[in-house]
Amino acid sequence: MAIVALSLPPGMNVQPELERQDLGFCPLGTVGNLAFQPEQGGTARASRAGVMLSNLRRSLANLLNDLTACFNGAPGQARASRKYVGQAHAGSHYIGNLLGRLTAPAHAQEGRAATARALEQLSELSKGDLSKLRGWQYCVAIYLEELTAADLKALHGGVLGDQDARQEMLNQIPSEQARRLAERVLSEISAHMWLRAAQETLGEFADGLAVSDRPGQMTSLINFGKSLDRVNAAGKDGTELDGRGDLDFCLQSLPKRQLHYLLLSKLQRKPGEGGLDDIRALVSGWYGDNPERQLTLAALDRLCAALERWMHAYKSERAQLVKG
């Protein structure tokens, strides 16, 4: 069946603020986690009947709103805005199905072929221009945030975590234009995947600080540095992460107790207190040929800078409240 490209009326370049309710309800679409069953922690696939019923309800609601708007003389801008949101919702189903396909094991030839077809569908949907795929970056960010640990493990075990398998999969896409679009979409998904990994390892590092578990701290910190490096690598491919794609958002998303442990450790500046300064001195003492030394130091520096920004923003907000 031919895919109709999403588009707005000429001169109506409206980009309203999207919300979670504007997307499909299942982050892995009607595919689900192909590596782990729901009882293993994997996200179950959405039923096709459920998706069709949800879309039908949404279409009827939109039709009613449009009829009401016509009778009430609502401005065309409002109607165009609703159309934009509707197109984002339609595109979100393709993004969800693609994420589901990406959970297939990297060595599964059938999984690679299905992923290639899903990427070709996205290219057809947008006519090779991702700017026409409404809200796709927002959708990727939201869906990745909602995935379980088993879902993320499956993504890491798929073509996203295996460069050779990823390239072989991309080679199955005959159109050069579609292949370029696929590479950009995969880079975006990879960046958010590794950002989630960075968030998890940062939380583990914070928990290690709370119990003075030095070996655990070092393991988590090294993994945190590697994850941030992979996010940076995806950024070099032209990926433009939104507000959910930075370390500040990563900190804000941590449970309060973990953020408290990190802030407390940042404030422990005296030698021997076990704070971040002590940990940095320890990492600096690693042998220069240690490949993990620079990555870990860079991650620590970024973390300290982000914590400084957080504390500055907090102090500024408190000062404003005192002034009234």
* Nearest to 159, CA basis, from 136, 188, 186, 196: 186
Confidence band (pLDDT; 50, 70, 90) for 318? confident
CB-based burial label for 249 (10 Å; 0-12, 13-18, 19+)? middle
258-310: pLDDT as tens digits: 999 999 999 887 777 778 999 999 999 988 778 899 999 999 999 999 999 88
123-174: pLDDT as tens digits: 999 888 888 899 999 999 999 999 999 999 999 999 999 999 999 999 999 9
DSSP state letters, 7-68 = ---TT----PPP-GGGS-S-TTTTT--SSS-GGGTPPPPPPHHHHHHHHHHHHHHHHHHHHH
CB-based burial label for 232 (10 Å; 0-12, 13-18, 19+)? middle
pTM for the structure as a whole:
0.80
245 pLDDT more than 60: no
Q: Which residue has the higher pLDDT, 250 or 69?
A: 250
